[in-house]
Structure formats: C-alpha cells, structure tokens
Structure 1
Amino acid sequence: MLIRNAINTDIPGILNLLLQVDMVHHNGRPDLFKGPATKYNAEELLKIIEDSMTPVFVCVDKEKVLGHAFCIHKQVVGDPVLTDIKTLYIDDICVDENNRGNHIGKLLYEHVLEYAKKNSFYNITLNVWTCNPGAMKFYESLGLKPQKICMETIL
C-alpha cells in the first residue's frame, strides 16, 4: 500500500468512496442526505486535485484506491476575536468498506498529520456526524477531541 497525492486516474475510485460516504450518511440521516449521490462530480474532483489549497491524499494498492482524505487549507486573518491560526480541515475521509479494519484510515490520518506538521499548520479539524458512531470512535482513537458541537431542533 502507498499513500500519495491523488491524480486524475484516481477519480473513478474516489467517486466510489464518495458514494459510500454518502450512503452512510443517508442511512443515518435520510432527512438530510438524498443518497445515492456524491458531493463532487468528476469535473469538480479534477479541479480539487489540481488545487494546492485542497490536497487530496489516496491510499492505493496496485493503483486501486482503498481510501482517501480530502483536506482544505483554512486561515482566519485579522478577525477581531479569533487568532490568525492556520488550520488543515479534513473535508472527507473514507476507507473502502471492503478494506476497513486494515488500518488504512489510520495511515491516511498519519499522512495528513505529517503534511500538517511539515506545512506549519496549528491544528487539524474535521466534522463528524453523530449518526456515524464508528467514525466518531475512530477519530477519538486517533486522539481527536471535540472542538465545538452543532445542535439542532427538527421542526
């Protein structure tokens, strides 16, 4: 297995993973997630992959995409309340459902962590849906802690 920056030939595999992510969310919150769908199409993925501010890392085995991590560089500058820290936001992380339990997610996260350290980020953040307790447990096992909590009332 190898973790590297995504390239255009990875797009079909990434789309498959995005569909898997959507279905986890759709099954957990069908009131919010349409399913089956992907949050990006192939054309959008190509632009994301080519943008240095949105690095996408993939775990591949013989060029088969087994997992991905989408990241976004974020920085608030000159805010009257918030400090000018540089954050690496994990927009999406997924391991193919047929390859879970093989530590691919941990390897991807460790790669993101090294990237963040090498590029002088202050922190790494991500969002996780409460309807995905497996993901919550996984992130906690990596040492992530809640930063803020979004709450709702359905009317």
Structure 2
Amino acid sequence: MSEEQDSTVAVNIYIRRAEVRDIPQLHKLLREVLEVHHQGRPDLFNTGVTKYTDDELADILSNDETPVFGAFADDDATLYGYAFCVFERHADSHILTDITTLYIDDICVDEAARGRHVGTALYQHVLDFARKTGCYNVTLNVWSCNPGAQAFYERLGLKPYKIGMEQIL
C-alpha cells in the first residue's frame, strides 16, 4: 500500500461472522489470494482453482474452532474482505506452553477496496475477538513473495516470531 492509499477515507463497513450465504463471495476473494501467491510462487501455487469446496467452506463456517470474519458493506451483501481464523492449542505438548493462539490462516481485502482501511478494521476485530476469548496471541504467516502484505502487517504491529526457509533442489 502506498501512503496515498493509506490516507483514503475508510469505507462504511461492519464485521460479522461469515455465513453459508457468503460462500460465493468468499470464493471470489480466495481466488484473489491464490492469484497473488501464484504470481509470486508459480512453482508452489496453482491457478484457476478453488481452495475449498462449498461443503468444506460450510463446515469451516459452522465450526467455532475456525471462525471466519467478513467485512461487509452496509447492505450486508457486499463482502470487502475476510479473515479465516483457527484456534491453536498445545495442551499436551512437552516443549510448548499451554496457551491458546488465534492463528489467522487467511486474510484478504478485495482489490477494489484496498487502501480504505478494511484490512485494518478486520485485523482489529480479530484482535478484539482473540482478547475476548482468552487468547495469548494472534499469529499469521506471510509469504516472502508478498512484501506489501508483510509491510502492512508490520504497520499493524506484528513482528516476526519464526522464519521458514527453503532450498529448492
């Protein structure tokens, strides 16, 4: 995001748990994310496919362990962005402490709504939800081929806590 985009007035949105009726719009945004990843790492990410089937999405949406939040226009019909979350716990681990983490598995703002603080509002909602549900922290992963997303997350206050590395053979 450029500084010009950051100064753009926020759109009127409200955030709620996504529902089965939102699946078509979720697919649209999931494809946007997939294309960003495919452009950055075509060796790892396919193109032109869907991440989940409708049934898989319905299962995710109905599971309280995998809350999905959507940023919607006032009409409750236009989805500007989403955050797919997963509660993670390591209660029986010998090496990890027994904390609850809210992991953001996937976050996306529609290209047409970027720069209007939708992502910031979604992230703030996720933080508030995590606090209310007793989480110790919120985590996410960002691909190194997406430096714009990494810069956005750093502006929100996130800091690296582990780094994945590879050597292509």
User: What TM-score, normalized by structure 1, do the two folds share?
Assistant: 0.98
- Distance in 2 (alpha carbons) for counterparts of 1:4 and 1:78: 32
Corresponding residue for residue 7 of structure 1: 19
Secondary structure in 2 matching 1:27: helix
Cα distance in structure 2, aligned partners of 1:148 and 1:36 = 31
**Equivalent of 1:31 in 43, 47, 55:** 43
RMSD between aligned residues = 0.7
Aligned length: 155
Does residue 43 of the first structure (1) align with residue 55 of the second (2)? yes
The 2-side partners of 1:60 and 1:120 are apart by 26
Unmatched segments (≥5 aa) in structure 2: 1-12
Q: Offset of 1:36 from its aligned partner?
A: 2.0
Structure 1 stretches (4+) deviating beyond 6 angstroms? none
Can you give the 5+ residue segments of structure 1 that lack an aligned partner in the other structure?
none
Structure with larger RCO (C-alpha < 8 A, sep 6+): 2
Partner of 2:34: 22
After TM superposition, give the deviation of residue 37 of structure 1 in Å: 2.0
Aligned position for 1:107:
121
* 1:1-155 equivalence runs, <5 A: 1-61=13-73, 62=75, 63-155=77-169
Identity of aligned residues (%): 54
